[in-house]
């Protein structure tokens, strides 16, 4: 029980609050993981169809690209 409480306090102490004046900086297009969503989906499709793998975007299938 004490361990869970300690872990909870550590996790809560590590969080920071984003101030209203900082939100504009974080919402900029160059701060996004993928600024262009369509290009990201295209790259994922190409990667997963060429590698014959699955994961990340939820797509599964073979290397033929016909999933």
Q: Which two tokens stand for residue 30?
A: 């160059």
Per-residue pLDDT for 55 more than 60? no
Nearest to 51 by CA among 65, 42, 41, 63: 63
Is the pTM higher than 0.75? Answer: no
CA 29/CA 43 separation, integer angstroms = 19
Q: Which residue would you say has higher pLDDT here, 67 or 12?
A: 12
CA 51/CA 39 separation, integer angstroms = 18
Is-contact 57 41, C-beta < 8 A?
A: yes
Q: What is the pLDDT of residues 5-45, one digit of tens each?
A: 777 777 776 667 778 888 887 778 777 777 788 888 888 88
CA 67/CA 61 separation, integer angstroms = 5
């Amino acid at each position: 029980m004490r361990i869970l409480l300690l872990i909870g306090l550590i996790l809560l102490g590590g969080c920071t609050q984003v101030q209203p004046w900082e939100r504009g900086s974080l919402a900029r297009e160059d701060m996004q993981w993928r600024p262009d969503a369509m290009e990201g989906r295209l790259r994922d499709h190409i990667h997963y169809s060429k590698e014959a793998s699955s994961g990340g975007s939820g797509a599964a299938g073979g290397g033929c690209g016909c999933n």
